[in-house]
Amino acid sequence: MVNINKLRGAVVEHGFTMESLANSIGMDRATLYRKIVNNGETFTLKEVDGIVKALSLTPDEGMRIFFAQNVA
């Protein structure tokens, strides 16, 4: 399960907006927002990989965001 709060924090921390992140991974802004509203349940592995690379996340950060077991 995706930790949406950590994802949003990482986006801001790395100087992105949701729109600029969507552009950098080749996704429509509305599609990214829809996936986030659905708690990230429909992210594909390719999209996750693109987000991790765009935000320059460490493997550990990526795991904590995209493969969280306990989400507040």
Report the CATH number that the domain containing residue 26 is assigned in CATH. 1.10.260.40
d(C-alpha 62, C-alpha 49), whole Å: 9
pTM (predicted TM-score): 0.87
DSSP assignment letter at 28: -
Residue 72 lies in a domain: no
Q: Is there a domain that residue 51 lies in?
A: yes
Specify the number of domains making up the chain. 1
Distance between CA 14 and CA 31 in Å, rounded? 21
- Domain of residue 22 covers 4-66
| Location of structure tokens 């992140």 | 21
Q: Could you tell me if 61 and 35 are in contact, meaning their C-beta atoms sit under 8 angstroms apart?
A: no
How confident is the prediction along the chain (72 residues), in pLDDT tens digits per residue? 889 999 999 999 999 999 999 999 999 999 999 999 988 889 999 999 999 999 999 999 999 999 877 545
